[in-house]
Amino acid sequence: MHCPYCSGETKVVDKRDGEDSTRRRRECISCEKRFTTYERPNLNLNVVKKDGRREAYSRDKLKAGILRACEKRPISIDTIDAAVDRIEKAVWDTDEVTSTEIGERVMAELKTMDKIAYIRFASVYREFDDPVAFEREVRLLRS
Ligand SMILES: [Zn+2]
């Protein structure tokens, strides 16, 4: 966990297990500011869509999108689960995340995982109706 003020390393100064979350009081080693994080085993997260509508975050839905992109690719379900875990951990402390941010995080994961899956996801997610933009993306991956 990095400091939200200066991105420095932090240490846990107090930890309390609540009913549905673990509360950690952290202190930054560099700037000594303190902040609190909550870790929830079940994310209580809203996803804000592009049109402004909100819907409850669904791990299954996120995973389904990744699985679709990874269809017939040599990627194990464990690898996909680990990627979903990393995406969830990145947004753990917030109540709301935009669908754009989730999409960008998925693309960052897929980019290191499998180029074909990445292109598939990107073409759906970024809605490449512009063939030139799509080709540019493919070229960038090859270079
Ligand atoms: Zn700091």
CA of 11 to the centre of ligand 1 (A): 11
CA of 34 to the centre of ligand 1 (A): 8
Q: pTM for the full model?
A: 0.62
51 and 36 share one domain:
no
pLDDT given at position 131:
61
According to DSSP, the β-strands at 46-48 and 96-98 are parallel
Which residues have C-beta within 8 Å of that of residue 58, sequence separation ≥ 6? none
CA pair distance 113, 105, nearest whole angstrom: 12
64 and 3 share one domain:
no
Q: Which range of residues forms the domain containing residue 89?
A: 42-142
pLDDT digits (tens, 9 = 90+) for 84-141: 988 988 887 788 999 989 999 999 999 999 999 998 898 877 765 566 666 776 777 6
36 and 54 share one domain:
no
